[in-house]
Amino acid sequence: MSFAKVYSRGVLGISAPCIEVEVHLSQGLPSLTIVGLPAAAVRESKDRVRSAIINSGFTFPTKRLTINLAPADLPKDSARLDLAIALGILIASGQISPIESENYEFIGELSLDGQLRPVSSAITIAIACQQSKRALILPEQNAQEASRLNELKIYTASSLKAVCDHFNHGSSMSVYDSNQEEYYSLKSMLDLKDVKGQLRPRRALEIAAAGGHSLLFRGPPGTGKTLLASRLPSILPPLTAQDILEVASIYSVAKQSYTWGMRPFRAPHHSASSIALVGGGSSPQPGEITLAHLGVLFLDELPEFDRKVIEALRQPIEEKQVTISRASRQTTFPAHFQLIAAMNPCPCGYAFHQDARCQCSPETIRRYQSKISGPMLDRIDLHIDVPPLSSHDLQSNVVPESSETVRNRVIAAHTKQLKRQNKQNHALSTSELQTYASLDATGQKILELAQKKLSLSARSYHRILRLARTIADLDGTSSINSSHLTEALSYRSPFP
């Protein structure tokens, strides 16, 4: 046989398109040509594959070898195609049996002595492989990550020789039996009971968690803004199985570790560039907003971020995804994150503080606060002041509510939303608000007066309705009353 076809996978964004590795042997001077838009790492595989085949006890064909990576218009990078290329050469040269190779997909980097090395994006590849109904053969080090998919048949190998023996029936590889790690424990997370006092900010945090709303904490240094934000993941509803796979796939592509089942919490430093936050690069990689997908993006010291970096968030907040365009291709990454931000009222942090420590001029304060544009503030649902704590609050022995108690209320409200509209309240469209967040005559009058007094935009108007709907869900009522609406309006207070 002078022709062979072996299946493998590439990675494009957080998807893993199938790659057909076609190998043809023909008469002519010995050579090896790889076509199909191979990147440098793929072109260099010819040397790794040659040495791996020889050191595994096989003969490298002394013929003209042509390897086509289809589809030809899809760029191929990484050394994960090494194993598939080596097997294609051995099948085409008749050294191993081609039987059933079409029922498998292969990924793995080869060392010069034929050993298999782990590759990135294993969970992304496993998800795509499961949809194709083929079994997956991969390095042993990637098995634990890929085995999270219960319906996928996985075989692991330590070397090229082990894979070849499987097809030559010399020794059969067994299906990998995973010893899966346990999910994260709430006990291992930061607990809301560590936050003393601050009842109103705690209430705002609970509302944000229940409805998926964005939140801005404002206040002087040391009042607990970061402390509150860091406790948000402990009260968020659990992820679904499909959501967990989506988040794990993102972290696999980004080559970062992920605690299985946990909602992401990303807190980039204020010196981060727009590319670090949104994503990019010559070969587009996910940024912080994608790594925070289905979790929390916390921006501490918000005005200290470059204005262009903050403004880059406006579109992803609305569209829940980000598209990175390059000359050769476009890549779309999911970015359905919950934005939590914190800021001081002025550069020194003590403006409007009762002890009058602030020495900033009104112009300095205005310039500092104007670093955050009106359109960006308009996209944040809750604006809440975090005042300094009194010595009585700090010395109190009263134990605040724990994250578990608050989380139970959040989950109850979240479940109501899914049953009623199959989505969280923050995602309700304007037409859906008319159905699920309708107001009585009193509520309409209150909102009309508020719109005139606060000069609310249409976006703010609808965000207040979504907030009121979440407050009503936490209160356990099916309709929005005036108390729910007035509380929602209290969280839209402008800067002092």
The pLDDT value given to residue 448: 92
Q: Return the exposure string of 31-44: e unless at least 16 CB atoms fall within 10 Å of the residue's CB, then b.
A: ebebebebeebbee
Q: Quick check: is 318 in a domain?
A: yes
The reply to whether 272 and 364 lie within a common domain is yes
Q: Quick check: is 180 in a domain?
A: no
Digit-coded pLDDT (tens) for 407-416 = 999 999 999 9
Exposure on the CB side of residue 416, measured as CA atoms within 13 A: 20
The reply to whether 10 and 150 lie within a common domain is yes
Domain-ending residue, one of 119, 152, 167: 167
Q: Give dist(CA 385, CA 201) in Å, integer.
A: 7
Average pLDDT in the 377-396 region? 89
Q: Quick check: is 55 in a domain?
A: yes
Three-state secondary structure call for residue 109? strand
What is the percentage of the chain residues whose pLDDT exceeds 90?
70
Digit-coded pLDDT (tens) for 157-205 = 999 999 998 888 766 677 887 665 556 666 668 889 988 888 999 999 9
The reply to whether 212 and 159 lie within a common domain is no
Q: Quick check: is 361 in a domain?
A: yes
The reply to whether 201 and 163 lie within a common domain is no
- For residue 121, the enclosing domain spans 3-167
Q: What is the DSSP letter of 67?
A: E
Domain-ending residue, one of 390, 411, 433: 390
Three-state secondary structure call for residue 149? coil
Digit-coded pLDDT (tens) for 438-447 = 999 999 999 9
Domain-ending residue, one of 390, 423, 441: 390
Q: Quick check: is 413 in a domain?
A: no
The reply to whether 147 and 201 lie within a common domain is no
Q: Give dist(CA 378, CA 343) in Å, integer.
A: 16
Q: Quick check: is 124 in a domain?
A: yes
Give the CATH number of the domain where residue 57 resides. Answer: 3.30.230.10
Average pLDDT in the 384-406 region? 88
**DSSP letters of 202-268?**
HHHHHHHHHHT--EEEE-STTSSHHHHHHTGGGGSPPPPHHHHHHHHHHHHHTT----TTPPPEE--
Confidence of residue 51 (pLDDT cuts 50, 70, 90): very high
Q: Quick check: is 230 in a domain?
A: yes
Three-state secondary structure call for residue 126? helix
Give the CATH number of the domain where residue 300 resides. Answer: 3.40.50.300
Residues 6+ apart with CB under 8 A from 392: none
The reply to whether 104 and 207 lie within a common domain is no
The pLDDT value given to residue 354: 63
The reply to whether 247 and 362 lie within a common domain is yes
Q: Model pTM? A: 0.91
The reply to whether 208 and 354 lie within a common domain is yes
Q: Give dist(CA 207, CA 410) in Å, integer.
A: 8
The tally of domains found in the chain comes to: 2
The reply to whether 19 and 158 lie within a common domain is yes
Q: Tell me which residue of 457, 327, 307, 444 sits closest to 379, measured CA to CA.
A: 457
Q: Quick check: is 77 in a domain?
A: yes
Q: What is the DSSP letter of 93?
A: T
The reply to whether 39 and 131 lie within a common domain is yes
The reply to whether 221 and 146 lie within a common domain is no
The gap from C-alpha 473 to its chain's centroid, in whole angstroms, comes to 27
Tell me: pLDDT of 228 over 90. yes
The reply to whether 243 and 375 lie within a common domain is yes
